[in-house]
Amino acid sequence: MIIRGFDPISAPDAQILILGSMPGVASLEAGQYYAHARNAFWPIMGELFGAGPEKPYAERKAILTANGVAVWDVLKFCRREGSLDANIKAEVPNDFAAFFADHPQIRRVGLNGGKAAKSFRKYAGAHAPFGAVATLLPSTSPAYAALSLPRKCELWRAALLDPAD
C-alpha cells in the first residue's frame, strides 16, 4: 500500500527539528503524529516542553512551535504494509532543500530511530543549515522497548536542549 506522510508541524523560527521516518497505521488513521497510545513521543515532549499526551493535539502542536520545535518525517511517500520501518519500500523523501531554506535557524535535528537516521543521511543531511547537529535518538516506537521512558527522556533532553534548559 502506498502511504503519504503529513505536513510538518513548524514555524519559521524553529531551531529544533525532530524527524521520524513515516507515520504508522494508528497515526495515519488519526491524522496525527505519534498517535499510537504506547508511543513514547508525546510523553517525552511532555517532559521536555510541557506538550504531554493529556493535552489536545492542537495544543501540543502549538506548544512545540512556541518552543521552537518542528516535527516532520524524512519520507513523503513510501510503500509499506503495517507500521514497521523494516517494511518500508519505494521511499520518496520530503523536500528538505525547501524546508531548510524556510527554516534557516534549525540548529539541532533529532532523528527518531535508526530508519529516520539512515534516510536523513541519504536524502536530507546535505541540505541542513551550516552548523546544525543531527543526533540519532532512541526510537519512541512501542516496538523499541530496550530503554525505559526515563532513559529515553534523558537522551532526548541531552540531544535537543541546551544544558541550561
The domain ranges of the chain are: 2-160
- The span from the CA of 5 to the CA of 162, in Å, is 30
- The pLDDT averaged over each successive group of 10 residues in the chain (165 residues) is 94 96 92 95 98 98 98 93 82 94 96 93 86 93 85 95 68
Given this model, what pLDDT does residue 163 score?
A: 66
Given this model, what pLDDT does residue 79 score?
A: 85
Place of cell 524553529: 14
Given this model, what pLDDT does residue 18 score?
A: 98
Given this model, what pLDDT does residue 88 score?
A: 83
Given this model, what pLDDT does residue 83 score?
A: 81
Q: Which residues of 9-47 are buried (b: 16+ CB within 10 A; e: fewer)?
A: bbeeebbbbbbbbbbbbbbbeeebbbbbeebbbbbbbbb
Given this model, what pLDDT does residue 164 score?
A: 56
Q: What is the CATH number of domain 2-160?
A: 3.40.470.10
